[in-house]
């Protein structure tokens, strides 16, 4: 089924920030739009606010004056739900309470035509549960826009258990006709983005709780090594600690308190103290006037090693060999099966984070994963109390000679970027195996919904089929709570590769 005809009226119920944004998207696309809000006068105020935003688009040459005037003429505030009777699509953006939404849609079902598409913009409630209150839940879908709706392209089109594919397709095609990037998703806690993004926050908080590093340092490593737009601490301060924790808790409870989604105690304490981020002036960071942003921990300058010995090709970190040579440091290569380490003149080893800890070995310094070792401006190292000072100094000097800032964190298995990316990859494979979405839609959702530098499957292909499984398996041995246990889907993915390559044992 094709998208709704532009002559079809679209209604938005709920005129907060998200409701206004969705209405603006439909309006600019060319639909007549009706606005309704239960609070008297709110719909008219919202229409005026949308009109003002259209004026700003004209000022920025993003909309012609004629198109603005035509759009304003198509925008009508409604005084009652009955005025939405002729609409072909009604999108709800009201309070995130199941009973409120169910009651609204029960009322709408008695007003609109039988073929009218009914949609919820919920981000945390079950689409199936909301639609379960309807006589005909087949026409009920989730249309989850991201804030601000006029700017962010992603829309998760969520099919509830009873949603008819005809209506899901209509919703998908309509979102695409509005200039959005829709992705199809089954009704699962968190849908795609809020389900798969949990480790980005959880692992940063876990490193902090283990006293591996402070928030400013963790954020810097995620940005400058991992390639993420923002670190987890600054991003949750922007979102609001209460909002972010609420989503995490909702996903955790909806998955019957699955340990993989366990909320952070440190974040809970932040919420309890009223330190909610930018909106209260204090969160992980101080956002008060004149407050200085704390600097990430950065190692002092050290001398680079006279040479390094490369045992193997370093796997996902293989680009480092060329960088080391370009820095004028001789590289002696030794062939070794499964070798993925650099040996320093002191005899110590430099190893890519693999889920193990430095304290387990005689003299090992771990270095974290980078999105692009050539472009990365910071590299994190991890060492234990037993690591020889000379080994750590040589490792620090090596990366500094490559033009990188160096951060030394605690002896945290999987470090920061590596464990985060591995867990994101795992949840993505698990989601595909359970029919939540396709690999392509998951990659699209994570790049457009939360600005990840790569989608999980793009990361997986770049790092190798067994990389995430091997790292998580080692992490699981050191933390057998189940938090890091690789999913069956990731296990199958890694071992299927082994069979094709003839290396299965």
Q: Which of 194, 244, 358, 460 is catalytic?
A: 194
In angstroms, the CA 342 to CA 364 distance is 10
* Known active-site residue 451: no
* Known active-site residue 476: no
- Return the H-helix or E-strand segment holding 427: helix 417-433
CB 262, CB 202: distance < 8 Å: yes
Residue keyed to tokens 């679209």 = 10
The residues, ordered by sequence, that sit 6+ positions from 212 with a Cβ below 8 Å of its Cβ are 218, 382, 409, 410, 411, 412, 416
Q: What tokens appear for 39 in the block?
A: 């609070």
Query: Which DSSP category does 277 fall into?
Result: B
Q: What tokens appear for 209 in the block?
A: 């709780």
Q: Which of 31, 144, 429, 493 is catalytic?
A: 144
Q: Which of 8, 88, 123, 244 is catalytic?
A: 123
Residue keyed to tokens 């609409």 = 87
* Known active-site residue 88: no
Q: Which residues pair with 396 in a beta bridge?
A: none
* Known active-site residue 31: no
Q: Is the peptide bond before 213 cis (omega within 30 degrees of 0)?
A: no
Q: Which of 156, 224, 311, 394 is catalytic?
A: 156
Q: Which of 36, 175, 215 is nearest to 108 (CA)?
A: 36
In angstroms, the CA 147 to CA 25 distance is 12
Using only the alpha carbons of the chain, give its radius of gyration.
Answer: 26
Q: Which residues pair with 352 in a beta bridge?
A: 367
Pairing, β 154-159 against β 378-382: unpaired
> Which positions are annotated as active-site residues?
123, 144, 156, 194
């Amino acid at each position: 089924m094709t998208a709704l005809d532009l002559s079809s009226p679209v209604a938005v119920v709920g005129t907060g920030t998200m409701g206004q944004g969705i209405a603006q998207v439909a309006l600019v696309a060319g639909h007549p739009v009706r606005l309704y809000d239960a609070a008297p006068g709110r719909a008219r105020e919202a229409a005026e606010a949308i009109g003002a935003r259209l004026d700003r688009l004209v000022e920025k040459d993003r909309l012609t004056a004629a198109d603005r005037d035509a759009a304003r003429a198509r925008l009508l505030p409604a005084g009652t739900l009955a005025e939405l009777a002729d609409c072909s699509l009604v999108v709800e953006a009201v309070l995130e309470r199941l009973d409120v939404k169910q009651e609204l849609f029960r009322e709408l079902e008695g007003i609109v035509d039988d073929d009218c598409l009914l949609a919820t913009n919920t981000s945390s409630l079950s689409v199936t549960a909301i639609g379960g209150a309807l006589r005909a839940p087949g026409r009920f879908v989730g249309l989850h826009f991201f804030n601000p709706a006029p700017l962010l392209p992603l829309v998760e089109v969520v099919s509830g258990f009873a949603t008819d594919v005809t209506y899901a397709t209509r919703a998908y095609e309509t979102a695409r006709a509005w200039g959005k990037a829709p992705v199809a998703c089954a009704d699962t806690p968190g849908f795609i983005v809020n389900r798969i993004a949990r480790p980005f926050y959880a692992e940063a908080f876990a490193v902090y709780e283990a006293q591996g590093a402070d928030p400013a340092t963790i954020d810097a490593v995620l940005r400058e090594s991992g390639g993420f737009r923002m670190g987890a601490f600054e991003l949750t301060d922007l979102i609001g600690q209460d909002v972010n924790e609420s989503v995490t808790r909702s996903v955790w409870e909806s998955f019957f308190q699955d340990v993989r989604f366990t909320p952070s105690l440190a974040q809970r304490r932040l919420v309890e103290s009223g330190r909610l981020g930018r909106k209260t002036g204090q969160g992980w960071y101080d956002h008060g006037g004149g407050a200085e942003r704390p600097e990430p921990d950065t190692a002092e300058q050290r001398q680079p090693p006279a040479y390094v010995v490369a045992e193997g090709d370093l796997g996902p970190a293989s680009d480092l060999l060329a960088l080391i040579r370009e820095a004028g440091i001789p590289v002696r290569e030794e062939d070794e099966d499964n070798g993925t380490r650099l040996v320093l003149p002191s005899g110590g080893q430099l190893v890519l984070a693999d889920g193990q800890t430095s304290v387990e070995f005689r003299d090992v310094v771990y270095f974290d994963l980078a999105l692009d070792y050539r472009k990365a401006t910071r590299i994190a190292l991890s060492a234990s109390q037993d690591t020889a000072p000379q080994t750590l100094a040589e490792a620090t000097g090596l990366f500094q000679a490559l033009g990188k800032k160096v951060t030394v964190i605690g002896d945290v298995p999987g470090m920061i970027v590596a464990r985060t990316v591995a867990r994101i990859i795992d949840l993505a494979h698990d989601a595909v195996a359970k029919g939540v979405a396709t690999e392509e839609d998951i990659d699209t959702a994570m790049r457009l919904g939360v600005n990840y530098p790569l989608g999980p499957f793009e990361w997986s292909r770049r790092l190798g089929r067994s990389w995430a499984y091997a790292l998580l398996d080692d992490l699981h041995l050191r933390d057998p709570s189940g938090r890091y246990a690789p999913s069956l889907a990731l296990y199958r993915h890694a071992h299927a590769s082994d069979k094709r390559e003839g290396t299965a044992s």
